[in-house]
Amino acid sequence: MRVAITGEATWTPDGIAPIRRFDASRFPVRFAAEIEAPGTVAMGLLVVREALGEVDRLRAAHDPARIGVFFGVEPERVAAGDWARVQGERRAATQQDRAPRFAGLLPEGAYRRRSPSRLTDAVADLCGARGPRRTLAMACVSSAAAIAQAYLAIARGEITAAIAGGAAQNVEPLLFAGFCLLGAMSPSGECRPFDGARDGFVLGDAAGALVLEAESAVHSGQIRGRLLGAGQSLDAYRMTDPEPEGRGAAEAIRAALTDASLDPRDIALVKAHATGTQKNDQVEARVIDALLPHRPPVMAVKGAIGHSIAASGVVEAIAALEALRRGFAPGIAGLTHPDPSLPPLFLAPASAEPRTIRGGVALCNTFGFGGINCALLLGAP
């Protein structure tokens, strides 16, 4: 069953700026790509409404039991202030030699409110979907994996339509502190994918959604793009580093090509994961160079909108789809001097002339902490 993309929407930050959401003035990193929004559920619902156009559209065209909802979302972070209250009670109990009393310390229902499946359920309720609901909590790969699962469910005939995407509001003190400690974020506040001076990513917020339908159920005028294949793999290597030769990443790309019955030379555009960290960009460049020697243009968007973790897969896939439709690859924000130690890819800074895309297939890479890899193949309408 061929899978058509019939709707899409993103909510991305205006750019990278000093953090406004909390006082980061004493943190070693002070920049982020923020969106002012009342949480991930609101962000997710907004993009779903926009992607659908009319919320009843899918229900009118499909059996509701065959409409699925697949979202990549992380649990709502426990507010740093709540952690502080719990720790305060823990310390007081120790000093007073008593058991801690947590009852009433945190807002009622706080555990349930953290659940990422709230967004999946809310989307299903909004559009009347009664088919499978899956919430993928897979860090950076979450929403790409959600798209892959939705694609597979339609391609195998399990369902005929799906809404897939992700939403993330990441810029909060404790997550930020954890990434500061890992040294993965750019102290300069500039994400420079594949640049010789790259020094990490910039954390961001974002949301995105795709409407996917069995191509046999739509008319050609509705098709905004196609999902041609998906591949997933695990490095099974180390928690801290990607496998140096990129074997896991390469396997995900090969699996997607096999799934789509395509040849590597069919790939006309690569949307790289490109976090702007030393090791990740090095491994990804090696994989792209080895698998795609015909050197299709490579685009990367984290230099413009930051790294939205769970939402990055979907918003970046939509950027790649738009590039396919326009027929040219945008330059890479943050890139000024490509790292000469990396294999030679077809890169271009944002200031360069747009590169023409010669073909209709885009490879979208999404890789995650702990060695999780997902490759999606998108087709032009």
Interface residue with another protein, options 27, 50, 55, 59 (CB under 8 A): 27
Decide if 381 contacts 227 (C-beta within 8 A).
no
User: Where in 199-238 is the site for another protein (CB under 8 A)?
Assistant: 232-238
| Minimum CB distance to another protein, residue 229 (Å) | 12
90 binds another protein (CB under 8 A): yes
Q: Are strands 206-214 and 17-18 parallel, antiparallel or unpaired?
A: unpaired
Is 294 an active-site residue?
no
Token pair recorded at residue 77: 């972070």
116 binds another protein (CB under 8 A): yes
Token pair recorded at residue 168: 């993330």
Interface residue with another protein, options 173, 330, 360, 379 (CB under 8 A): 173
Q: Distances from the Cα of 154 to the Cαs of 115, 214, 244, 328, in angstroms?
A: 26, 6, 34, 29
Decide if 339 contacts 310 (C-beta within 8 A).
no
Q: Which residue carries 């902490």 as its tokens? A: 369
The contact pattern for another protein, residues 243-262, with x = CB under 8 A and - = no contact, is: -----x--x---x-------
Q: Which stretch binds another protein (CB under 8 A): 208-216, 286-294, 350-358, 368-376?
A: 368-376
For residue 361, count other CB atoms closer than 10 A to its CB: 23
Q: Provide the H-helix boundaries in 4-115.
A: 40-52, 57-61, 80-95, 110-114
User: Where in 48-67 is the site for another protein (CB under 8 A)?
Assistant: 65
Q: Which stretch binds another protein (CB under 8 A): 46-54, 175-183, 209-217, 260-268?
A: 175-183
96 binds another protein (CB under 8 A): no
How does DSSP classify residue 78?
A: P
| Minimum CB distance to another protein, residue 122 (Å) | 11
Q: Provide the H-helix boundaries in 276-327.
A: 278-291, 302-305, 312-326
85 binds another protein (CB under 8 A): yes
Q: Which is nearer to another protein, 105 or 350 (CB)?
A: 105
174 binds another protein (CB under 8 A): yes
Active site residues: 140, 273, 307
